[in-house]
Amino acid sequence: MSSQNVYILGIESSCDDTSAAILCNDIVLSNVVASQKIHEQYGGVVPELASRAHQQNIVPVIDQALKQANINKSDLSAIAFTRGPGLMGSLLVGTSFAKSLALALEIPLIDVNHMQAHILAHFIDEEGFDKPEFPFLSLTISGGHTQIVKVHHHFDMEVIGETIDDAVGEAFDKSAKILGLPYPGGPLIDNYAQSGNPKAFPFTKPRVDGLNFSFSGLKTAVLYFVQKQVKENPDFIKENLEDVCASIQYTIINILIDKLKKASKETGIKTIAIGGGVSANSGIRKALKEGEHKYGWKTFVPKFEYTTDNAAMIGVVGYLKYLKKDFNDMSIVAKARIKF
């Protein structure tokens, strides 16, 4: 193997996906994700069950990643792992494993901030996907996060807006639950919304100062609205599912785009990149494209497998930190809440 190539093992275990990836420099050789189905029956992630599943998954997932990349443990240059933010029990599994393996292989250990990784996923070298130029605005939207981040450089970024309550993915999932849809309901709302009228049922948008978001009011509004309608017509959901989904999605997209417009105006930055599981949503993708024509934005959406929780994004941050020789010693510990 060529000596100038850097081989990174990335490990992600912050929530309910156990993932391992191998990168050669910024190129992904493998990206294995074991999603935990166990949570579906509970309608959300159960932390205790998540950490137990990580324990079971981590060895086979890493083995699989090495196999698919066709390299041996001894070829690795460094190990990058998610230190936080996330669920403590889940983070502990990846962190402890990464520390032990780095110690055994006598290679550097690199801690990665999960939120930074969602943003830096754009720097994975992938055919057909351009890397955004600095400075840019990142809209990170998932089941656990909703943030607008001003990105000056790889490791120089600041959160300029975030949710004060629920994350946007939660707004999708909780609304879906009210409509009797299974967890996670975000993709289902998206699906039904495609054939519905987005203006059928207007939901009021929250008033939140600055660039922050709030989604808990929407969830309550959907609940009261549906309860009222079902009282009058027990078949209301069945008869209006597409229109209700389209109206909820329309409201959520409007909330996101309004804040992005504000952020772009205030910062003068027109390069906008999105990340996180909700960036799969067809409505947000369409709205961003429209923004290119309407507001002169240049927008970036990463390859789908790098938007949801995955270890390839942890690996690419590992590679960028490896170049700076930004390594950890064995005293590093997982942290459930961390800022950039």
- Residues in contact with Zn ion by CB under 5 A are 142, 309
Q: Is 134 helix (H, G, I), strand (E, B) or coil?
A: coil
In the chain, DSSP assigns E strands to 7-12, 17-24, 27-35, 78-84, 109-113, 136-141, 146-153, 156-162, 271-275, 298-300
Q: Is 299 helix (H, G, I), strand (E, B) or coil?
A: strand
Least distance to ligand KG4, CB of residue 118, Å? 8
- Contact between 142 and 149 under an 8 Å Cβ cutoff? The reply is no
Instruction: Give the containing element (helix H, strand E) for 284.
Output: helix 282-295
Question: To which residue do tokens 């754009």 refer?
Answer: 122
Least distance to Zn ion, CB of residue 203, Å? 26
Residues that bind ligand KG4 (CB under 6 A): 15, 142-144, 169, 172-173, 184, 186-187, 190, 276-278, 280-281, 308-309
* Contact partner, 206, from ligand KG4, Zn ion, none, Cβ < 5-8 Å per class: none
Q: CA 24, 27, 32, 36 torsion: positive or negative?
A: positive
Least distance to ligand KG4, CB of residue 228, Å? 25
14 or 264: CB nearest ligand KG4: 14
Report the residue number whose CB is nearest to ligand KG4.
Answer: 277
* Contact partner, 277, from Zn ion, ligand KG4, none, Cβ < 5-8 Å per class: ligand KG4
Least distance to ligand KG4, CB of residue 340, Å? 17
Quote the radius of gyration of the chain (alpha carbons, Å).
21
The number of CA neighbours under 13 Å toward the Cβ of 295 is 21
Write the CA distances from 188 to 146, 210, 280, integer angstroms: 20, 31, 12
* Contact partner, 78, from Zn ion, ligand KG4, none, Cβ < 5-8 Å per class: none
* Contact partner, 143, from ligand KG4, Zn ion, none, Cβ < 5-8 Å per class: ligand KG4
Least distance to Zn ion, CB of residue 160, Å? 19
Least distance to ligand KG4, CB of residue 306, Å? 10
101 or 313: CB nearest ligand KG4: 313
277 or 318: CB nearest ligand KG4: 277
CA nearest to 281, candidates 258, 257, 264:
257
47 or 187: CB nearest ligand KG4: 187
* Contact partner, 138, from Zn ion, ligand KG4, none, Cβ < 5-8 Å per class: none
54 or 203: CB nearest Zn ion: 54
* Contact partner, 140, from Zn ion, ligand KG4, none, Cβ < 5-8 Å per class: none
Q: Enumerate residues 6+ apart whose C-beta is below 8 A from 60.
A: 34
102 or 245: CB nearest ligand KG4: 245
* Contact partner, 274, from Zn ion, ligand KG4, none, Cβ < 5-8 Å per class: none
Least distance to ligand KG4, CB of residue 313, Å? 10
- Contact between 224 and 216 under an 8 Å Cβ cutoff? The reply is no
Report the residue number whose CB is nearest to Zn ion.
Answer: 309
Question: To which residue do tokens 């240049």 refer?
Answer: 298
78 or 181: CB nearest ligand KG4: 181
143 or 161: CB nearest ligand KG4: 143
Q: How far is CA 164 from the centre of its chain?
A: 18
Least distance to ligand KG4, CB of residue 189, Å? 6
**Whole-angstrom Cα distance, residue 249 to residue 288?**
14
CA nearest to 44, candidates 186, 244, 139:
186
